[in-house]
Amino acid sequence: MPADLVDLQVDVSAVKYVERCLPPPISLAEASAVHTAASVLRKATKPLLIIGKGAAYARAEESLRKLVERCRLPFLPTPMGKGVIPDNHPCCVGAARSRALQFADVIVLFGARLNWILHFGLPPRYQPDVKFIQVDICAEELGNNVRPAVTLLGDIDAVTKQLLEEFEKTPWRYPSVSGWWKSLREKTDHNEAASKELASKTSLPMNYYTVFHHIREQLPRDCFVVSEGANTMDIGRTVLQNHLPRHRLDAGTFGTMGVGLGFAIAAAVVAKDRSPGQRVICVEGDSAFGFSGMEVETICRYGLPVVLLVVNNNGIYQGLDADAWKALAQSGDASTAVPPVCLLPNAHYEQVMMAFGGKGYFVETPEELQESLRQALADTAKPSLINIMIEPQATRKAQDFHWLTRSNL
């Protein structure tokens, strides 16, 4: 866009607004298919709902919540489907994700697609005879990767209401004392205990679970959460809770890196306009931050309500021996020995924020993290960056199966 256009000033009264597009048309699923879907669900012994970002886009939060609560069904959000129903809802089985996927006999997908994030809907991550019910606005997605038992083509909110009507005509509630609920709750408890144990470790440097535990404690209920990175995004997704729909933005289906700060700026412009106190919490891996870290200049220039958290393991992915790393960090010279997938040990990202007038914190302990977060959230006048040093070798808790390595629980 040429600079003279960018700079142009016009008389507001002279602006002509062209007619907006029509609101998106709404379509419903065929009545008989809705009926069949309800029948399949009634017969399920291990039902599961998966709530995708399509449900968020369709603004189906109210209808889906009713469905979950009336039928008392376990549900699992996808990364950007988080918050359509709050993560702390008693029917949310996010903490038992792998088990829920693996043993369900009927799964209803609401605007969620069977791509790599959902392991393509295939064994061994799923039962070979699991019945999928697909609810989607896009006909071409129906039957993608699996042959579904029932397909409901239409607006997700409208179709959810059709299902609710079915269950109103002939009421049904999945028994809350079933073996399936028992199994999911046991697994949830077990996983939360394991996370809690990791979170409570006092050894330094901190691990991911400790860091996310403390962030979760102070996360404002109405904040936007933006997240980007590998472990940082994956583990953060399991620990940090969303309470509102369309308040989580991350690297998305294709795992695109470099989008985090742009998302944070966009969300902050909305937040600033909407409510004076609303904040954007942008949780970045140090490698992710490097893609577009200079955007802090924009954040500072416009005084945007962003708290940036860089979860900093020095870019260490794998393969660097802990002692070697320590030697590196002490020598202060990375030029000869740093492997190509590492970043500079102890980079002071917080000073980048300070260079532009924002607040910067370098934290190494839980106490420092708590305190800096408190200050950052309290100061609504300035953006902040908290550079959180964690164990370079820090990994997630032990996984059940090898093929879970890249999964988020």
Task: Choose, by CB under 8 A, the member of 57, 75, 103, 349 that binds its own copies.
Answer: 349
24 contributes a contact to its own copies by CB under 8 A: yes
List Cα–Cα distances, 142 to 24, 77, 147, 241, 286, in angstroms.
20, 19, 8, 30, 38
Task: Choose, by CB under 8 A, the member of 148, 245, 260, 285 that binds its own copies.
Answer: 148
Query: Quick check: 49 and 75 in contact, CB under 8 A?
Result: yes
Distance, C-alpha 366 to centroid of its chain: 23
121 contributes a contact to its own copies by CB under 8 A: no
340 contributes a contact to its own copies by CB under 8 A: yes
Task: Choose, by CB under 8 A, the member of 29, 80, 91, 288 that binds its own copies.
Answer: 29
310 contributes a contact to its own copies by CB under 8 A: no
Q: Which is nearer to its own copies, 184 or 352 (CB)?
A: 352
The half-sphere exposure of 71 on its side-chain side, counting CA atoms within 13 A, is 27
**Nearest distance from residue 101's CB to its own copies, in Å?**
23
Task: Choose, by CB under 8 A, the member of 72, 344, 365, 368 that binds its own copies.
Answer: 344
List phi, psi (to 5°) of 187: -65, -40
Q: Which stretch binds its own copies (CB under 8 A): 23-31, 42-50, 98-106, 399-407?
A: 23-31
Alpha carbon dihedral 182, 184, 187, 191, in 10-degree steps, equals -130
405 contributes a contact to its own copies by CB under 8 A: no
Tokens of 311: 């979860």
Task: Choose, by CB under 8 A, the member of 330, 348, 380, 401 that binds its own copies.
Answer: 348
Q: Which is nearer to its own copies, 120 or 291 (CB)?
A: 291
Q: Which is nearer to its own copies, 51 or 261 (CB)?
A: 261
Residue 48's beta-bridge partner residues?
107
Task: Choose, by CB under 8 A, the member of 158, 225, 271, 376 that binds its own copies.
Answer: 158
DSSP character string of 321-340: -HHHHHHHHHH---TTT--T
Tokens of 296: 């802090």
Q: Which stretch binds its own copies (CB under 8 A): 165-173, 201-209, 216-224, 340-348?
A: 340-348
Residue with tokens 């109103």: 168
List phi, psi (to 5°) of 131: -100, 120
Site for its own copies in 285-304 (CB under 8 A): 289-294, 297, 300-304
In angstroms, the CA 266 to CA 323 distance is 41
153 contributes a contact to its own copies by CB under 8 A: yes
Task: Choose, by CB under 8 A, the member of 357, 375, 380, 403 that binds its own copies.
Answer: 357
In angstroms, the CA 378 to CA 48 distance is 40
19 contributes a contact to its own copies by CB under 8 A: yes
276 contributes a contact to its own copies by CB under 8 A: no
Alpha carbon dihedral 404, 181, 111, 118, in 10-degree steps, equals 10
- Assign 279 to helix, strand or coil: coil
In angstroms, the CA 81 to CA 249 distance is 10
Q: Which is nearer to its own copies, 238 or 314 (CB)?
A: 314
326 contributes a contact to its own copies by CB under 8 A: no
Binding site for its own copies (CB under 8 A): 3, 6-7, 19, 21-22, 24-31, 33, 139, 142-143, 147-148, 151-155, 158, 289-294, 297, 300-304, 317-319, 332-335, 338-341, 343-344, 347-352, 354-357
